[in-house]
Amino acid sequence: MRKADFPIYRPSPTRFFFRAFEVFVAATFLLVAAAATAQGASRIKDLVEFQGVRENQLVGYGLVVGLNGTGDSLRDGQFTQQSLISMLNRLGVKPTEDGLTSENVAAVMVTADLPPFARQGTRIDVTVSALGDAESLLGGTLLVTPLLGADGEVYAVAQGPVAVGGFSAAGAAETITKGVPTSGRIASGGIVEREVPFDIAQLSMVNLSLRNPDFTTARRIAQAINAFLGTMAARPSDPTTIRVQVPGSYGTNVVDLLTDIEQLRIRPDQLARVVIDEQNGIIVMGENVRISTVAIAQGNLTIRITETEQVSQPGPFAEAGETVTVPRTDIEVDEDTESRMTVLEPGITLQELVNGLNALGIGPRDMISILQAIKAAGALQAEIEVM
């Protein structure tokens, strides 16, 4: 049989179009499903901290010089005077107390955070704060200041010009102050001199610490890690800690393991909680807050007292009498009779709760009292935390 005897199949344009449309619909469905799954999910990186990967706080005491008469009063600040004399003695200068009258020096506390895995020679930012009665650190320079850790060892040394964001100006009858001129910052003003020993490559077990402890969240993180690794390497030991055994496939490359783990996404669970700041009238409610059946009525009693003084005097040509002031009092009572009672059905959501309270025209401060009353009645299925 010749080649020309075989029929040649040519798909019609209509069939090709419908096939492409089916592929497009399937792809769109997958994208929508993935977006719905990822909605409300957070990276493990944003939920936990890796134990051992942490900052260390440093502190030191130093002197800032070069101030334009805004430093400490040496006669009143004895510690500033003693520090200045000690520093000059180390430099070979033998001053006397009577000769130290400068107001261009200020005693300061220097603080900094030592980043994890900071190596020798790494520069860090430092914060400088006045310790005495200095008026401003503007234009000053911090002299070499050792920064100590909690163990008393020197981990960094700071020095450099202080950048101050605030200022203060005074005249004969008025003073203007913007910001805090007695506190400043030195960008990259500290140099790391000692490293904190920590070898992450030798770890056989990695501990993850939840920033917001929760049993359900800890379990979901462990399940996500085990599903990714294909082995039961992670298990929660408590609502705060998840222990992860380093798989043999990663060897000593723990950094790769942490990089893969921190990008996984899970939906964290949270406790039903209402946070109240009574001073500022702020209310924050979680999405899991629920209300049982309860009726709410809110009414305000307003009493307004107005005092109006009137003058009483005798009539014309009267033989007796005197002009006196007679008080007149006007009292108004408003019982807010238009207030209505709202019934909240069981298991309502946070949005329904807010809508119900707003229907009464209730402000934030009255809402705080109502929430506390609902909690006292046993109808608020949430924890109330007062700041």
Tell me the Ramachandran region of residue 92: left when phi exceeds 0, alpha when psi lies from -120 to 50, beta otherwise. Answer: left
233-259, pLDDT tens digit by residue? 999 999 999 999 999 888 888 999 999
pLDDT over 70 (residue 337): no
**Cβ atoms within 10 A of the Cβ of 207, count?**
16
Residues 131/62, Cβ–Cβ less than 8 Å: no
Note the pLDDT of residue 67: 92
Coil, strand, or helix at residue 237?
coil
Note the pLDDT of residue 57: 95
pLDDT average, residue stretch 14-28: 50
Note the pLDDT of residue 1: 46
- The pLDDT-based confidence of 339 (bands split at 50, 70, 90) is low
pLDDT average, residue stretch 111-116: 94
pLDDT average, residue stretch 266-284: 82
Coil, strand, or helix at residue 305?
strand
Residues 277/297, Cβ–Cβ less than 8 Å: no
310 vs 322: CA distance, rounded Å: 14
141-184, pLDDT tens digit by residue? 999 999 999 999 999 999 999 999 876 666 655 667 667 889 99
- The pLDDT-based confidence of 202 (bands split at 50, 70, 90) is confident
Q: Amino acid letter at 380?
A: L
Note the pLDDT of residue 165: 82
Residues 90/79, Cβ–Cβ less than 8 Å: no
Note the pLDDT of residue 297: 67
Q: In degrees rounded to 5, what are phi and psi of residue 2?
A: -80, 160
Burial degree of 279 (CB within 10 A; 0-12, 13-18, 19+): exposed
161 vs 102: CA distance, rounded Å: 19
- The pLDDT-based confidence of 60 (bands split at 50, 70, 90) is very high
Note the pLDDT of residue 317: 65
Paired with 325 in beta bridges are 311
pLDDT over 60 (residue 36): no
Mode of pairing for the β-strands spanning 290-291 and 282-285: unpaired
Paired with 381 in beta bridges are 290
pLDDT over 60 (residue 301): no
Note the pLDDT of residue 321: 67
Q: Which residues of 78-94 are buried (b: 16+ CB within 10 A; e: fewer)?
A: eebbebbbebeeeeeee
Length reported for the chain: 387
Backbone CA torsion sign across 12, 13, 14, 15: positive
Coil, strand, or helix at residue 335?
coil
Find the radius of gyration of the CA atoms of the chain: 36
